[in-house]
Structure 1
Amino acid sequence: MPTDLRDFLMLSYRELEERNLEVKQQRSDRVAPDKIQEMRLKYLADEPRIKAVTVLFSDLEGRLHMLDYDKKFLVKSSDNLTFDGSSIRGFTPQRESDLRLAIDWGAFYWAPSDIFGPGKILVFGEVLDKDGSQFTADIRGVLKAYSNDQFAKNGYTLNAANEIEGFVFQGLDAEQRYHETGKFEYVNTGGYYHSLPGDPLRQFIDTVAEVQRAMGFQNEKDHPEVAPSQFEINYSYGEVVAAADTIQLYKLICRQVAHKMGMTASFLPKPVVGVNGNGMHTNISVSKDGKNLFWEERGNENLSEFAWTFADRILTAGNDICLLLNSSVNAFRRLDPHFEAPNQIKVSATDRGSMVRVPIGNERSSRLEVRSVAPDANPYMVMLSVFKTGLDGKVSDVANLRQAERYLPDNIYDALADFRNAEWTSTLLGADVKERYADLKQGSADRCARQLGTFVKAQEVQYHHEVYNQYLWNLF
């Protein structure tokens, strides 16, 4: 179709940033949902250049799904959207397949037309059961309910920011073809902070950073990471549900930009043995009435007792929640102490091998950093696990808990056993969702070699939940 016949919305990056930051502020200010819905529906009805609304939601493993709705249909039918839940791993069996999809109108994004196509809006959805109640396997919905409950009961705002590492590899669909090639090819062989302005890695980082700014990420810094072809692009913190949404958008943007450049963005925790893996260091704090409750000027490492108790609860449940923070076979390759990996269940201001670190901070930035998180984990599951454990969990009577000689599992089978046997994970997720999640992780593990060995096996990529497709899974 000739492009001159189309009249779809295409905004400059400057205007995109202004609009997305305005929506972000409304979300931060907790503007009433009914008011937000009215504003968004009026905007969509009045803007003729929008052709479709892309609704995003995540399955139990954190895989992002997208549905495009015709704009006119969505405006008329936004209160009665349904989809087949039996096609989503971990949702519903075939005999009870129908689920509802509600729109979270606060999580609304204008996206660059050169990356996502013209005339489209992105918005996150909430999965509901057939009767309209919250669907227990939609962890985003569970997290949102928990966050709202903490604000209503205690006045707490749960804050998070993530440092998400990834690799860029040569060629399209490098992960899907790994079982054919047995290797990933770097696009750059530099290192930490080292990349010439015009090389493919730097061009990729620059483009992703531009898209992120346009979508209201409020970037802080970006750079090549330690390993060849590895990157990290940092942005500001946000309320916990918005922060988890941002993780999903971050990975989506990276994959889309890499694809347009003829490359593949990979968030496998350890796609190449012998170099540093990918982490998703999760920085967290809790505030009330604008005050950071983790800060105490005279406290140990300038942390309050509230923050130290939060850290103690995370350490107590470290083994129990390890599978939720490291959800794949491949993730346990990363928990290797030879590559700055955080496999020790302790807290430290200096030792980067600690599960929890205390970064240097001030009254505004004081926080805890949970380092033992892989970038392929379900971000909503990560946030729910960390905050609910830190606020509602128990503190162990282990002597010297914060510096005890304890270690995270080095394989998914031990992590699965800890997860299944823990009472806390039943409280965290509910018995039904816990069992569904464990069964999904068991299925992936059973298709892979039990011993990790010294090189990445095709199966741990082929049956990875972010790489998964029906054809590859059925080759087993």
Structure 2
Amino acid sequence: MAKTITADDIRQSVADNDVRFLRLAFTDINGTLKAVEVPNSQLEKVLSNDIRFDGSSIDGFVRLEESDMVLYPDFSTWAVLPWTDRQGGKIGRLICSVHTTDGKPFSGDPRNNLKRVVDQMRTMGFSDFDIGFEAEFHLLKLDERGNWTTQVPDHASYFDMTSNDESASCRRDIVETLESIGFEVEAAHHEVGDGQQEIDFRFDDALTTADRVQTFKMVVREVAKKHNLFATFMAKPLQGQAGNGMHTNMSLFKDGKNAFYDKNNKFHLSNTALYFLNGILTHARAITAVGNPTVNSYKRLIPGFEAPVYISWASKNRSPMVRIPSAEEINTRLEMRSADPTANPYLLLAACLAAGLDGIKKAEMPMAPITSNVFEMSEEKREELGIKPLPATLHSAIKAFKADKLIQDALGEHLAHSFISSKELEWSQYTQTVSDWERNKYMGY
């Protein structure tokens, strides 16, 4: 759980660390980390929820005529960032929730929305929704002008032991930087693709973990710059290579115990876990819109690169959408393998939690687990087993989202409307774009 930090603790830290600027961070509907930065002379206004900003310019927030927003910092997220301004002063960071001028939580803030769904979970008797994210990313070389390229700094593969290449050095620097601001890094390694990396940090409650993955992305990008590299969390940055996933490990806790664990059941999964799993599978197509929110996301969700394509689950088999890792009691969990790191973590977890809770309420068992490779099955066999495909395009995923009232309610009316509008615009822009592939293919017609 998040540690308790008081206003006095922050005042003392500002003084002890020569913090000259305060960065107040929040997240827009697309998962982009935004920030208002103020000098330390404004510390008391920060601590008393008195920093305002114009929300009309933030994607998915408000119209011009209702633009004033107020930032409410979460003191538990206080961190002194491990880099300085040009004068050598430190920068302090607080993650904020967005409120209206009358003090009410703003319904268009993804962080507020996740807290709302977590509160619904608590009314059902559960204490925590624990999450472990595995967010993959690529490191790419910069050109002489400092722009990204598609050239990779290494050609290593999964778990390759490299010690002196640019990627390995950058990865170690990222780990040390994360640990300096309180992360407990559990593993760091090279992934399957050229230049592809994974760094895993310890699981925690949903809100804390969503906050951390936003901080994680920021740190990865900043450290990569210092190594003259560009870090991208794009789902499929390189054609013919493995894409970046964000495997989402989920478990519910009740009375201090993992509610997903039952030593007497198969796979050690409790009925609660199985009902939750059924909720995820039932609403999988709509969840995909939230977990895979870009046009590019669907170039990762194709056969041949380990990313799931079909709605199914298994224990050791890695081809289905949800896997049950072998684990002891506290780590018993569901691993949803479909989402990618372009997802807004607050929206993704709200959608998954709402779907799982709905499954618990309905108390229905999921389909049978899959014991063979889904990709190698015939279409007739998949149909016989009730295995349906995930959406193949953003357009199809948004249609599924619009047809699923529960997942829309998981985002709330404001966010759901903004999400649909944003993604439909993105799809429209994509369909009007003429690519180099099309020119090369059709110019001679």
For residues 177-222 of structure 1, what are the alpha-carbon distances to aligned partners after superposition, in whole Å with 9 as ceiling and x for unaligned?
Answer: 67xxxx6111111111225211001011110011111122111111
For residues 112-167 of structure 1, what are the alpha-carbon distances to aligned partners after superposition, in whole Å with 9 as ceiling and x for unaligned?
Answer: 23699642211101101232211111111121233245346624211001111100
For residues 364-398 of structure 1, what are the alpha-carbon distances to aligned partners after superposition, in whole Å with 9 as ceiling and x for unaligned?
Answer: 21111011101110011111111121113575989
Give runs of aligned pairs for residues 291-440 of structure 1, distance below 5 A: 291-393=257-359, 400=367, 404-440=386-422
What secondary structure, in the 3-state scheme, does the structure 2 residue paired with 1:210 have? Answer: helix
Pair 1:85 & 2:55 matched: yes
Residues 50, 70 of structure 2: 8 Å contact kept? yes
Give 1:193's match in structure 2, choosing from 159, 167, 187. 159
What secondary structure, in the 3-state scheme, does the structure 2 residue paired with 1:137 have? Answer: coil
- TM-score with structure 1 length normalisation? 0.82
What secondary structure, in the 3-state scheme, does the structure 2 residue paired with 1:125 have? Answer: strand
Gapped regions of structure 2 (runs ≥ 5): 371-385, 440-445
Deviates more, 1:109-118 or 1:74-83: 109-118
State how many pairs are aligned. 421
Partner of 1:59: 28
For residues 393-423 of structure 1, what are the alpha-carbon distances to aligned partners after superposition, in whole Å with 9 as ceiling and x for unaligned?
Answer: 5759899465522110110111111111222
**In structure 1, distance between residues paired with 2:179 and 2:143:** 25
Could you tell me how far 1:456 is from its partner in structure 2? 11
Gapped regions of structure 1 (runs ≥ 5): 1-24, 458-476
Residues 45, 75 of structure 1: 8 Å contact kept? no
What secondary structure, in the 3-state scheme, does the structure 1 residue paired with 2:285 have? Answer: coil
**How has the CA–CA distance of structure 1 residues 399 and 245 changed in structure 2, closer, same or farther, with 3 Å as cutoff?**
closer
**In structure 1, distance between residues paired with 2:212 and 2:426:** 26
For residues 20-66 of structure 1, what are the alpha-carbon distances to aligned partners after superposition, in whole Å with 9 as ceiling and x for unaligned?
Answer: xxxxx6x25xx5xxxx4433454257547221111110001110012
Residues 345, 408 of structure 1: 8 Å contact kept? yes
Deviates more, 1:136-145 or 1:378-387: 136-145
Q: Which amino acid aligns with 2:133?
A: N
Identity of aligned residues (%): 28
**In structure 2, distance between residues paired with 1:378 and 1:342:** 19
Pair 1:166 & 2:137 matched: yes
**How has the CA–CA distance of structure 1 residues 70 and 163 changed in structure 2, closer, same or farther, with 3 Å as cutoff?**
same
**In structure 2, distance between residues paired with 1:54 and 1:392:** 38
**How has the CA–CA distance of structure 1 residues 388 and 400 changed in structure 2, closer, same or farther, with 3 Å as cutoff?**
closer
**In structure 2, distance between residues paired with 1:252 and 1:367:** 27
Could you tell me how far 1:70 is from its partner in structure 2? 1.3
What secondary structure, in the 3-state scheme, does the structure 1 residue paired with 2:430 have? Answer: coil
Residues 126, 138 of structure 1: 8 Å contact kept? yes
**In structure 2, distance between residues paired with 1:343 and 1:454:** 27
The Cα RMSD (Å) is 2.7
- TM-score with structure 2 length normalisation? 0.88
**How has the CA–CA distance of structure 1 residues 452 and 220 changed in structure 2, closer, same or farther, with 3 Å as cutoff?**
farther
Could you tell me how far 1:67 is from its partner in structure 2? 1.8
**How has the CA–CA distance of structure 1 residues 222 and 399 changed in structure 2, closer, same or farther, with 3 Å as cutoff?**
closer
**How has the CA–CA distance of structure 1 residues 383 and 351 changed in structure 2, closer, same or farther, with 3 Å as cutoff?**
same
Partner of 1:101: 71
